[in-house]
Structures are given as structure tokens and as C-alpha cells.
Structure 1
Amino acid sequence: MERKKQERKKRRRKNDDGDIINDNDDIIADMMKIMNEAAEQDRELNKQRKPAIRVMLQLPYIKAQLKKADMVNSLLDSGILSSITSWLAPLPDHSLPHLEIREALLKQLLDFPPISTEGLKMSGLGKAVMYLFKHPKETKKNKEMCHKLITNWARPIFSQNADYKALSKEEREQRDYEQLPKKRKLSADSDRLVEKQEEKPLRPGDPGYVYRARVPAPSIKDYVIRPRWNVEDKPRNVSSKKQLNKFQQLQRAFNERKKGSKSQAAVSVSIEGRNMAL
């Protein structure tokens, strides 16, 4: 019986492609119904302070259906992005959905073809991914996937080429120059001007030659290697005298006191002039 059913399915696919499209439409409609109902049930459970497990129960089936390559375009056309947004959106108590749900859906979104700006706005998927990217409790791995998604979606808006290798050398240099900060741009402009002046130095009579002294301007270059210091440090004057210990200090103080007492001794003077050197 199973073989006959499979043969009938093969014959129907060979005979009429419209049957396959109708089958996919039915599957997608069931998927969206399951996803929307599970998301609504989880919101109600969360309001009642109960575990929100309906989405987790349906996650294996939805992952298997989203991975089917022949259904991707039909999924996007049918509005599956709105259902994905309902699974990624925070719950009523502002808590994030389960980690497995976020990881599985973000990985699948990376495998999807480029999504139009209108599709992102209508489904609210762009806001949901940006919310996860900025959330402080989101994991580093998920934030990296969110950043990739945001970058991929922003390229068509800013007319940026997704393939960096396809750009020429001049285009890459110009692109890097445009992304530099303002100060670095000024230094790059000055470097270009110096290179042009070195190639063709101006002479008296040439346009642009100035017959006056230029005002010195501060350098705005970023130095990577520190210049070598030419002045050698002079060694500090170290006293050659040995430090005396406490006994030697006391002995020196005693000797100085003794000398002072001798110089201040009283001298007897004779009124009659005795013992005077004449």
C-alpha cells in the first residue's frame, strides 16, 4: 500500500506541477497556523505565570519545514516572516523566548535569500532582530548572527556590494577612505597633497605657487613608531661618603663638643702684665 501511494505521488508530480504548488501552499498554511497559535498560547501562559512550552513543542517540526529549499520562496511569499517574528518577540513579562528557539530561527534566517525592505517592515522582523541584538541578556553567538542579518539587510538600502572581492583596488581604497574618521580623512588628504607636490614641485610662475612664508600648522598624523630619544640620561650624583653608624655619629658629636669646650675656656689675665709676651 505504501509503495502504491508513493508511486501515485510521483505520477502526480510528473503529470502536473500545479499539484506540487498546491501541496506546498497547504503545508505553509498549516505551518503558519501552528506557529501563530503556539505563540498566542505561550503569551497567555506567560500572563498566567505558567511555563510557556507550546512553541518549544512545535519547534522540531517547524525547523524541518523551514530547511526545505524548494519551499523557501513560497514561504516568503506567503508571509512566514510574520510568524517567525511572533516566535522571536519578547513575552508579555519582557522575557526573551527560549534560547533554542532564538538560535534555530536566526540560523534559518541566515540561510534565507535576501529579504526586501518592505517585507521586513510589514512583518516587523527587522525590529525583532534589532531588539535581540541590543538586549543585554542575549548571547554573544546570537548577537553575531543578528549583526550579520542586519548587515545583509542594510546593504541594498545603502547600495553596498555584498561581495568585497568583486570591487577593484581603487574602489576598495575609496570605500576604506570614506569609512575613516574625520581626523584620519584630513591626514589622508594632506598625504595625498604632499605626494602630488613631490611628483611635480611648483616653480615661480606656476599656478598655485606662493611668494610668502607659510604659517606652521600642527601635524595631525598618527605616529605608530615612537622616535628614538637622542639624549642620553645623565647618571645621578651619588654621594661617595659612607654613611656612619650610630656609634660613629655619637663619637663625632662628642669630639666636636670637646673642641668647643677647649676654645671657650677662660684665660687668666695678669693686671701686672705677667706672663705676657713682650
Structure 2
Amino acid sequence: MALTELEVKKEKATDKQQKLSDGSGLYLLIHPNGGKYWQMAYRFGGKQKTLSLGVYPEVSLVDARDRREQARKLLANDADPSAIKQATKQEKRKALQVSANSFSILAAEFHKIKSPMWTEGHAKQWLGNLEKYALPVIGDRPITDIEPMELVGIMRAVEANGTFETRDRLLQTIGAVFKYAIAIGRAKYNPAEIRMALADRPKVEHFACIPTAELPEFLRAVTAYRDLDKVSPIAIAALRLLMLTTTRISEVRFSKWADFDLDAGCWVIPEEQTGRKGKKASAIPM
């Protein structure tokens, strides 16, 4: 006699396993611990077999009957539903393994490990270049399947925009991901060794610079500049400090009065200053 949803829900466990039949091989197995499991008994190849169809109540009576009918159709076509279920599990497991070994997953792992030591700007640029140029092409690919010619194609597409500096940074980034994958045993070689297949960077025309002999006169002119409607005194002082100490613009921008010891003639740029993540404190003589 076919089961009802109410029977399945109300049936209590006993000190022994129980089987409540729904017909055509489907039954509800109730364990002494209260667990309820849908199973289907069938014969295939002259052997008695059991197919697990799920756990109640996650799998309802209606769902269990649907799964039973799907299994019966397989049997009618001389296919073993248990073997097909096992093969499907193996395919899913393999797909998960491939996904875990994809370029995008490994790039994310590498970024997570290394970015705490980078500046915020570098970490953002590192990931941004990958997302813009590389991940749409090779992100979902298993890292062991990626070939050098694919990377050449990515690099040449960046070259076509005339952004050679971006190309070189991107290649360095991709190469770092492969080196990381090799180090942890998830790749065997680095296909990013392709620089010989790329165009040489065009010669860069640098901005003109002031001859060394003219620097004193320029510095005096900056000091004497008085058109404060166009340039603030703070900007003038910052430019003089930058020229006299040859520090970075960001180090001058984010400096504080507490960093300067005028009596000792020393400026200490602290490790925690904005933009200096991963860099040690620096002492600059004044």
C-alpha cells in the first residue's frame, strides 16, 4: 500500500530498523536514532541492489517517487542507476578539483597571501589588471592547461592599445601566479616565459629636466614666489622639502609635524604612514 506524507512524518523510531514500503521498490528506512532514509530495492545483472534516494524531510515523499521513476527508466534501458549515480558523483568531484585549480582561484590565493605586505594601490592595480585583461580569457581554465601562445595573445591585445608598461606588469603578475602554483605543487612549468615573442617597448621620450647648475637659481625662485592666489605657501614649502630631501611625493603629502625633530635635524617617516604598508621607517637628515 502506498505511503502518505502524514504517515512518513508521524512514524516514530523503535529499537530496530523499520522499512515502510511505498511500492515498486521504494521504501522509507527508519533507523533507531530517528533518521529517515529513502531507498529503492532493485535487481540488475542478476544481483539484488539498493539505491539511496535521499534523506527525509530534505527529500519529500513526492521527490522520492520522482527519483524512483527516474531509476526505473534507467533500468528499462538496461542501465544500472547506482553505477550512474556513482559516475555522476565522480564527475562532480573532478569538476570541483578542476575549479579549485583554475587560474582565477590560484591568483586569488596568491593575492590573499601577498597583498598584506603591499600598498593598497599596488594590491588594487595587481588585481585590476588581471580582471581586465587575463581572467576573461584564462580565469576559469585549469592552470595546467594554459599554454604560452594563449598568454602571447593576451599580451599582444594589451600591446595593441600602446600600453606597454601595463603589458609588462601584467606579464609579471601572471608569471608570479604560475610560480606560486609550481611552488605548491599545482603546476609543473611556467608558460609565462614569453617575453621573446613580444614587441620591444618603444623608446620613451622623458620630460625635459633642469640642468644641475640651474637648480640653486630655481630653488631661490621657488622660495621668492609670492603669487599666492595661484600657489599656496604650503605647496611651495612642500616642493622645497621634496627637492631638498629627494623623498617621494606621498611621503611629503602625508607627513606630520610630529615626524620632524628640528633640533636634531631629522625627519622620521613612520612605517604606518599612509601608502607605506610593508616598508620600514626611514630617517631623513635635514
**Does the pair score TM above 0.5?**
no
TM-score of the two chains, using structure 1 as the length reference: 0.21
Q: Which has the larger radius of gyration?
A: 1
Higher strand share: 2
